[in-house]
């Protein structure tokens, strides 16, 4: 049986990976398709013939992919999706079904996880939706296709069968993530996954899944659940060794909803990395309330170079309302400890969440400057379906547009009182100018001159970014 696992084309280069749903924009380079590689690996180990297409990385059209499949028509199509690209993704499914009407077509991603029935009703050629993490549900779906019938209970799937749409019970998340084994990176175009700052090939390592936090705007728990599950340090280091020896990759994104949620796990992983002798560069994320100098020092020793942090707002009232579970003052201490350990920090802020005012935007910009991380990014709030933020705006009639293609961090779909979209865009530009065009930040850049090659890469990256403002 032949299975095609596809990251479909889109009008602009786009990131579809779990909670990450945004245009590549200034990043320019494609993001390693972790979900595709893991799903392909699980299916191939079960004995299926698997073909993988990253249309974003290779700039492939629907016709090009269909032509590539024509010699050996697929029995099952598995297509990655996101909220902003969902209309295009479903049109892609319809185009492939027209070429391969005998194939079973299924989609996965956060958007169909939440709006499974609506997605199936929109696309008559679509046969199934995988809700939540795709790998094991895809394996069960493949077994049903191989057996010749979808008229079986498939946990975590919503199926079109016998003229009806049937939503089967949610799948219990697999506790042992080591059972995922290694991603099938050999099926993807690794030469296209180049980090925009380091200018080196990189891959994504899925270290953990799940998030216990309850931020009102985040889709992460909708996809991977709230129960935190982790790979073992030995499994992770074995995967890194495989990637280094087989593909020559030394740069890695350690993917997790909250990487440092369990400091003991991170310390164990870092010690295992150090003991392995593998010389790698990696980055991940942390929270503002994680301030552990011993942890950060060990992470640096193990190869960590950067951590991203969700700062969200400088307003204590807004942080409380969005249920961030952190205080604005904690960020300064965490950034300070990271800098002392030699780890760069990038902090993300959101404008337009409930309670936003002109004064609170000023608070946020001031908080960013006080914390003084190495980099900041400011985004408009996006009410993704399934989140409390979306439901609240719907009740209040404050969603400006129902066009899903606008639901990403480059557009404005929230009716924020006193802030029409053009004014919110101006405030975001003000945030960038206020942070980056100040003497103290010039000193931050000056410190990076100690590594000239890294500094030049950063300048190239930064210039591409500033042109988008």
Confidence of residue 451 (pLDDT cuts 50, 70, 90): low
Q: Is the model's pLDDT at 122 over the cut of 70?
A: yes
Structure-block tokens of residue 332: 């300064």
Tokens of 83: 């909220």
Region of poorest pLDDT, from 16-25, 108-117, 153-162, 385-394: 16-25
Domain with CATH 3.80.30.20 in the chain: 194-466
Phi, psi angles (nearest 5°) of residue 213 = -80, 165
Q: Over the Cα atoms of the chain, what is R_g? A: 22
Mean pLDDT within 413-419? 93
- Domain 2-167: CATH architecture, name and number where available: 3-Layer(aba) Sandwich (3.40)
Confidence band (pLDDT; 50, 70, 90) for 26? low
Strands 2-7 and 281-286: unpaired
Tell me what the mean pLDDT of segment 27-33 comes to.
81
Domain 194-466 has CATH 2.60.40.420: no
Question: What is this structure's pTM?
Answer: 0.95
**CATH 3.40.50.280 occupies which residues in the chain?**
2-167
pLDDT of amino acid 176: 96
Among residues 68, 75, 53, which one has the least CA distance to residue 2?
75
Contact 35, 18 (CB under 8 A): yes
Q: What is the pLDDT of residues 38-59, one digit of tens each?
A: 999 999 999 999 999 999 999 9
In this prediction, residue 196 carries a pLDDT of 84
pLDDT grade, residue 460 (50/70/90)? Answer: low
Mean pLDDT across 277-284? 98
Mean pLDDT, residues 97-103 taken together? 98
On average, the pLDDT of the chain sits at: 93
C-alpha to C-alpha distance for 275 and 252, rounded to whole angstroms: 18
pLDDT recorded at residue 463:
59
């Amino acid at each position: 049986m032949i299975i095609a696992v596809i990251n479909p084309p889109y009008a602009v280069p786009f990131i579809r990976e779990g909670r990450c749903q945004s245009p590549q924009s200034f990043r320019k380079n494609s993001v390693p398709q972790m979900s595709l590689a893991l799903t392909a690996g699980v299916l191939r180990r079960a004995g299926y013939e698997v073909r993988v297409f990253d249309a974003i990385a290779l700039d492939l059209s629907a016709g090009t992919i269909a032509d590539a499949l024509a010699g050996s028509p697929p029995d099952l199509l598995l297509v990655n999706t996101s909220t902003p690209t969902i209309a295009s993704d479903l049109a892609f499914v319809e185009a492939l079904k027209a070429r391969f009407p005998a194939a079973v077509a299924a989609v996965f991603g956060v958007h169909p996880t939440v709006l499974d029935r609506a997605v199936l009703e929109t696309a008559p050629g679509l046969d199934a939706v995988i809700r939540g993490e795709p790998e094991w549900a895809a394996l069960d779906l493949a077994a049903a296709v191989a057996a010749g019938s979808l008229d079986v209970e498939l946990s975590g799937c919503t199926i079109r069968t016998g003229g009806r749409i049937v939503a089967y019970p949610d799948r219990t998340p697999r506790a042992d993530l080591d059972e995922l084994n290694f991603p099938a990176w050999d099926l993807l175009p690794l030469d296209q996954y180049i980090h925009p700052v380091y200018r080196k090939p990189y891959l994504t390592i899925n270290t953990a899944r799940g998030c216990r936090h309850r931020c009102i705007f985040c889709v992460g728990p909708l996809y991977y659940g709230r129960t935190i599950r982790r790979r073992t340090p030995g499994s992770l280091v074995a995967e890194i060794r495989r990637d280094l020896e087989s593909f020559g990759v030394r740069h890695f994104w350690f993917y997790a909803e909250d990487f440092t949620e369990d400091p003991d796990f991170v310390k164990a992983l870092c010690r295992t990395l150090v003991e392995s002798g593998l010389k790698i560069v990696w980055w991940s994320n942390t929270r503002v309330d994680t301030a552990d100098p011993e942890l950060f020092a060990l992470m640096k020793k193990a190869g960590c170079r950067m951590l991203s942090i969700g700062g969200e707002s400088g307003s204590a009232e807004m942080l409380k309302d969005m249920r961030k579970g952190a205080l604005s003052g904690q960020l300064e201490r965490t950034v300070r400890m990271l800098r002392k350990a030699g780890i760069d920090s990038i902090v993300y802020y959101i404008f337009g969440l409930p309670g936003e005012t002109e004064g609170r935007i000023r608070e946020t910009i001031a908080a960013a400057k006080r914390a003084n991380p190495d980099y900041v990014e400011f985004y408009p709030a996006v009410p993704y379906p399934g989140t409390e933020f979306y439901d609240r705006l719907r009740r209040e009639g404050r969603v400006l547009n129902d066009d899903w293609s606008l639901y990403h961090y480059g557009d404005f779909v929230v009716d924020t009182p006193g802030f029409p979209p053009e004014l919110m865009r101006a405030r975001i530009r003000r945030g960038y100018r206020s942070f980056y065009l100040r003497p103290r930040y010039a000193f931050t850049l000056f410190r990076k001159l100690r590594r000239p090659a890294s500094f030049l890469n950063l300048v190239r990256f930064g210039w591409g970014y500033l042109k988008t403002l």
